[in-house]
């Protein structure tokens, strides 16, 4: 099975908590209120797991984009 690259935009600043919770993803702070997580996801189940982990942290997701 081939992994797909995703970009997940968050409505928050990058924190050590987010960085530590998602070591498998690249994290970049775009502004004081915007962070992007990006990386390869194996399947829909793994993507749903990432979304659930963000929900557990109380982080607002503004966009999830599948990259070509």
CATH numbers and ranges of domains, the chain: 4-66 (3.30.70.250)
CB atoms within 10 A of CB 29: 16
Tens-digit pLDDT profile for residues 3-55:
999 999 999 999 999 999 999 999 999 999 999 999 999 999 999 999 999 99
**Strand, helix or coil for residue 9:** strand
| Phi–psi pair at 55, nearest 5 degrees | -60, -40
Q: What length is written for the chain?
A: 68
Yes or no: say if 35 and 18 are a contact pair by the CB < 8 Å rule.
yes
Predicted TM-score (pTM) of the model is 0.92
Kindly state the tokens that stand for 22.
């998602």
pLDDT the model gives residue 68:
86
């Amino acid at each position: 099975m081939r992994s797909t690259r995703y970009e997940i935009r968050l409505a928050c600043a990058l924190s050590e908590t987010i960085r530590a919770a998602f070591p498998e993803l690249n994290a970049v702070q775009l502004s004081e209120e915007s962070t992007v997580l990006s990386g390869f996801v194996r399947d829909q189940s793994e993507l749903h797991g990432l979304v659930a982990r963000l929900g557990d942290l109380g982080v607002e997701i503004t966009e999830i984009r599948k990259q070509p």
